[in-house]
Amino acid sequence: MNLDDALHTFIVEGRELLEQMEEALLQVEQAPGDDDAIAAIFRAAHTIKGSAGLFGLDHVVKFTHVAESVLDRVRNHQIGIDSDLVAVFLAVRDHLGMLLDRIAAGLEPDAETEQSGQALADRLKAYLDGQPAAGRPENALVERPVCLEQAPPTGGADTDNWHISLRFNPDVLRNGLDPLAIIRYLATFGRVAHIVTLVDAVPGLTDLEPEDSYLGYEISFHTDADKATIDSAFDFVRDDARIRILPPHSKVSEYVQLIRDLPEEEMRLGEILMGCGTLTPAELDEALRRQEAAADGAPHPIGEMLVEQNIVHPPVVQAALDKQKQVKEQKSAEGSLIRVNAEKLDEHINLIGELIIASAGTSLIAQRANIPELSEAAARLSRLVEEVRDSALTLRMVQIGATFNKFQRVVRDMSAELKKDIRLEISGAETELDKTVVEKIGDPLTHLVRNSLDHGIEAAAERIARGKPAHGTIRLNAYHDSGSIVIEVSDDGGGLNRERILKKAIERGLVKPEQQLGDDEIHNLIFEAGFSTAEQVNNLSGRGVGMDVVRRNIMALRGTVEIQSAEGMGTTMRIRLPLTLAIIDGFLVGVGAASFVLPLELVVECVELSADETQAAQGRDHLNLRGEVLPFIRLKELFDISDPSQPAVDPADEEGFGDGRAASGSSGDTATAVASDPELDFMLHPVRRENVVVVQYAGHRAGLVVENLMGEFQTVIRPLGVVFNGLQGIAGFTILGNGQVALILDVAGLVHRVATRDRRLNAGVSFAMSE
Amino acid sequence: MRNVNIEDTQSGRRFRMEGGMTVYSAFHFRDAVLAAIPDYGHLEVDLSGVQEMDVAGLQVMLQLKTKCPTTLRFTNYSPAVREVLRYCKLLKYFSDPVPVEEGPRAFS
């Protein structure tokens, strides 16, 4: 293992641990008695300290150590945890995060960092009742209440020191671990009283493999830490070493056992233990005598042996169980997860995109070749490609919960700053969405949450006056809805003030005073650039930048945002995003020579637009769909597509969209024969027939009038170039099996356009999606 | 052997170690000194340039000391070497000019 890799892993894991720590801290703040959460905080600090020690990051160890000491007392209920202490630990977590960032950047801590670290350490030390704030490292340690087991039992050795026996496997150096680093780490929380370096196993000079480790160590160690702490020093070498730790005043028989277990000669070990000061000569004699006795005597029953050997040592057993559980959890998590470089995954997805296009081409050729076997093979291929696509896309899916949880901290800190009592409720945390989307949604969400905190939730007095609970609530919710993910940020605050927004909009000339606007339109005004109705500008929000950025960011993800607000009741911001950014199931339609793709999930149904209905609409572009009014757009007019010459079929066209027109081409002769029959004529020239594709987006329905329906099509979305950024109604393009380009329609934009068309015409103010 | 400088003096050969005596370079160090043992009466290993040492370096030192207790001398211990020896309580063992008869075992 390369050291840089290991350090990188340390930093990644460190950050994860800090996140867990923060989560647990916020949990503890709500439920101070939550021992599991406290244990989780402790574990995080402890693990960071341990790993930092291995990398020789002494400043991290030193700082974390103090925090850990306080946490240990909290864990033992010697210190109660309250919101002040949580605040201190949140600062500790931030400081550690900063230290990690600096390590990641290859920087030493600067004076400012050290100063803030020192200030925090001092605050922490205040919790360690009256212990000297600085001094020898042992001083910072927690004085543990003396365990009963550690009271000198009769027949125990005299020494106050722990005895640690270490034998490393030859590979330990190659695994990137230096035994010396561990001994150095031990010295951070105790004093190495004696150490015997055993060189017996080192082979002759010529046989020596310099990369193998041959040395063994017998250490006599003076510390106030408990066995679990000492044990944890060896967390990283547990697989690479034989470790035995004997508490002070252990029974002689334990040393006997130790001697018996070690590979060196027994006599020699006895001497070593004596050399270490662990055993007195008399104790050694006793030990050796016992050993002989044990050799001839009948074996002790196991239980008796265990008790005799004082092996059942509650804190140790607990530590072992915790450890085991932790390892098990880690193992199972590790077993089911692999860290993959995001770039590799993107490349993979891109390749699958190419594969889909290639497979569409194959299908087309197979269809034309008219060989049943080939068609069958092509069909099987496209089915498999589709499955591969689906599974590849799920690889990118992550749960939104982690993003939501970050807001716990935002809400906590900001509500303290604003002196409001605000709670955050999270639901739908397990909703999955594309990783790219998750990364990009963070900023807009932060804006929305801050807005709700600052402007949405009223001060407590005002809330009580309105008959609402004094504490405000912000809800984050996520769910899937027809091919989109919906993320809601809602608050139970004052809601948007309709009049004030309208007044401001008129002031700014966004709206004319005589205009009649619906609630939705008024609410949407807050997305205009530079629009703010806040009476007070503070450092959190209200400066009028933000909401327009939010909308722009969300639109860049092909999403939309809508507002639902009831005055005095609260506001809900609803963000709607496509599930994935790369590949969709499309619905291919044709207008003239052009083809377009709609996201299949948004298509509700297809109906025929007969001449009667066109007539009935009287040029108003509304359709009576089973008694409901359905506004529609003619794509032909919208995109100004010229008619292909009629009735002759453009050969290029036929290549492109075989289905609809093949019939008309091959039955040309019959068509002339029965041209007099209007019904037959109509059927044979389906080009004349118009179809309405009914699409639904965010609760609105609209019809898109097209000429040909060509069915489902797997679509790899390619973004349009920068030049086309301003284009409305088009979200991207894709390549068809025959190499032609088809435009992907921005259904959200079109639906919106239809919904607001009439008013837009009347009002002269554009609410179209992208301005 | 970029980190071993060799210099011949009147009394024998002198090795000056530079940089790290770690798992990455201990191998060079061992080979360089080992090759010189049969041909030179006295060997001196100058450790002043050692900035980093780990167990691998220590092992080679221990073995050299065992193999040539009288003819090989370590000199000018750098702070990094001293620290390791201090941790392992081997300072006394190495600073002792007369080799201990019973072998490389050392108590502090």
pLDDT tens for each residue of A103-147: 888 777 778 888 888 888 888 888 776 443 333 333 333 333 333
Question: Tell me, what's the ipTM?
Answer: 0.71
What pLDDT does residue A280 have?
61
Pick the CATH number of A583-763 from 2.30.30.40, 3.40.50.300, 3.40.250.10, 2.70.98.10: 2.30.30.40
What CA–CA distances, in Å, run from A397 to A353, A392, A403, A435? 17, 9, 13, 6
Query: Helix crossing, A435-451 with A401-418: angle to 10°?
Result: 20
DSSP 8-state symbol, A582:
S
* Pick from B66, B87, B108: CB nearest A180: B87
- Tokens 């032609």 belong to A740
Torsions phi, psi for B74 (to 5 deg)? -100, 135
pLDDT on residue A476: 92
Measured between CA atoms, how close is A176 to chain B, in angstroms?
Answer: 9
Label residue A680 by pLDDT band (50, 70, 90).
low
- Residue written as token pair 């092992």: B59
A205–B106 CB contact, under 8 Å = no
Q: Would you call A275 and B107 a contact, using CB atoms and an 8 Å cutoff? A: yes
Q: CA A80 to CA A668: how far, in whole Å?
A: 90
User: A198 to chain B: which residues are within 8 Å by CB?
Assistant: 105
pLDDT in tens, B15-66: 888 877 887 777 777 888 877 777 777 888 888 888 888 888 888 888 888 7
Say which DSSP state A251 is in.
Answer: B
- Longest Cα–Cα distance of chain B, Å, equals 35
- CATH 3.30.565.10 range(s) for chain A read 398-578
CATH of domain B4-95: 3.30.750.24
Are A210 and B59 inside 8 Å of each other by CB? yes
pLDDT of residue A141: 36
Which residue in B has a C-alpha nearest to residue A206's C-alpha? B34
> Is cis: bond before A647, omega within 30 of 0?
yes
Closest residue in B to A201 (Cα) is B59
Give A106 to chain B, closest Cα distance, Å.
Answer: 19
C-alpha dist (Å) from residue A44 to A37, A72, A268, A338? 11, 12, 41, 22
Q: What per-residue confidence (pLDDT) applies to B102?
A: 39
When CB atoms are compared, the residue of B34, B54, B84 closest to A206 is B34
Mean pLDDT for A736-759 is: 78
Are residues A194 and B89, on separate chains, in Cβ contact within 8 Å? yes
Chain A residues with CB-CB distance to B66 below 8 A: 199, 202, 205
Query: What is residue A662's predicted lDDT score, i.e. its pLDDT?
Result: 39
Nearest to B59 among A178, A206, A215 (CB): A215
Distance from C-alpha of A394 to C-alpha of A349, rounded to nearest angstrom: 11
Q: Give span(s): CATH 2.30.30.40, chain A.
A: 583-763
The reply to whether CATH 1.20.120 applies to domain A342-396 is: no
Query: Mean pLDDT score of chain A, rounded to an integer?
Result: 73
CB spacing of B106 vs A214 below 8 angstroms: no
Fold of A398-578: Heat Shock Protein 90 (3.30.565)
B108: chain A residues, CB-CB within 8 Å: 194-195
CATH top class, domain A148-331: alpha beta
Cα→Cα distances A176→A57, A106, A233, B81, Å: 16, 19, 16, 19
What residue type is assigned to position A176 of the chain? G
State pLDDT tens for residues A621-640.
788 888 888 888 888 888 88
Distance of residue B94 Cα from the nearest chain A Cα, in angstroms: 13
> Domain boundaries in chain B?
4-95
How far apart are the CA of B11 and the nearest CA of chain A, in angstroms?
Answer: 23
Q: Which residues of A touch B31 (CB under 8 A)?
A: none
SS3 assignment for A489-507? EEECCCCCCHHHHHHHHHH
* Ranges A237-241, A287-291, A755-759: which has the least confidence: A287-291
* Out of B30, B55, B90, closest to residue A213 by CB: B55
Q: Which CATH architecture has domain A3-140?
A: Up-down Bundle (1.20)
Q: How many Cβ atoms sit within 10 Å of the Cβ of residue B48?
A: 13
Contacts of B84 in chain A (CB under 8 A): 180
Who among A173, A194, A200 is closest to B56 (CB)?
A173
CB pairs under 8 A between A and B: 84
A548: closest CA of chain B, how far (Å): 57
Residue of A183, A199, A279 to mutate, interface with B, max B Cβ within 10 Å:
A199
Please tell me the predicted confidence (pLDDT) of residue A617: 67
